[in-house]
Amino acid sequence: MTYKEYIAQIVYSEEDGCFIGDLVGIRDIVSFHGDSLEEIRTAFEESVDDYLLTCQEFNHTPQKPVCGKDAAAG
């Protein structure tokens, strides 16, 4: 899943009975979860929006996702 250039890695947790996701390609930790694909997509988009808002509030430059060749350098 992608949203505003951010990429989600999503797995299903048998133990918890839900989908668990996090943003990949950044060092900041942003996690989210949902019981269905619709819920996990909504949680992902809300998490990205919250991350960007929190960065703005704390005058912190949000990290941009790194992928491909750039990931090895980071």
What is the fold of 2-60? Double Stranded RNA Binding Domain (3.30.160)
The tens digit of pLDDT for each residue in 12-69 reads 999 999 999 999 999 999 999 999 999 999 999 999 999 999 999 999 999 998 864 4
pLDDT digits (tens, 9 = 90+) for 33-45: 999 999 999 999 9
Q: Which residues contact 73 (CB under 8 A, 6 or more apart)?
A: none
Structure tokens at 14: 């048998």
Name all contacts of 51-55 with Cβ < 8 Å and 24+ positions apart: 51/6, 51/23, 52/4
How far, in Å, CA of 34 to CA of 14, rounded? 13
Count of residues for the chain? 74
Domain residue ranges of the chain, discontinuous segments joined by +:
2-60
